[in-house]
Chain A
């Protein structure tokens, strides 16, 4: 029972840390418009380039 309470407290502590980070917009290394644009461009270049080369 004590272990359960201690573990719930630990979960609460970790959740609070993430809530604080989220409220303060302090997530580091988040993906931006550049990342999404980059993955789209990379995918299109590889797909279209491979299609026209190989098909």
Chain B
């Protein structure tokens, strides 16, 4: 009898804990199991998001406003677009990590002549992006379903070059550890054309920030750091263009970016070359890359 009472108490407690989250406005629109995870699509009013955890418990991968799909919802994607201020006319673009396809869609709109290769490890994410986020592929926008590092190594062997490379590969936790090392960044750098630009989306909290910063610095030297809740690194293959050059290029995008609800002035204010990290932090390498363990530390 006491066992039954105990059980009832447990069930009540469970409801008490789960209750509020179930009552939230988020509505599960679609869920799809893949080799890697469960890909979940939630609607919260007009905002539609992809999450890799139930009720988006550990963050949202990407979001779109279904009533105005062209408008950028997330801050970090806006900061990634600022890569165009360093090289306004990239002919060939590589994006590692598809998410909902916000970046390739917008880039294709801004640069309809440029070739865009997207690398996404999870076929389920590609299906979800096409079905729920209006992501379209074509002659100029292509997707390859493969691990980012495997793709980069192969592209290196084939001698491919890109004018813009965007690193945006995340699992439910963070960037996979083999995509954070000095060796990986050297491989990526070797794919950049002489006027090539790298944009990388990272987090700005936790001890990992120091380690990532010194690792990027070791490969690319000084870079532009755009920091809000996320941090976007903008680096170049050769000399980093001065701020005046960046501002001149940015002016040309004012109108186009307004259509995406991206404020060019706000982005420009974020550009910084100040090294606000511990320069003594250890560089991440293939031999030493405990990123997720470092991410646990404040």
Are the chains A and B members of one assembly?
no
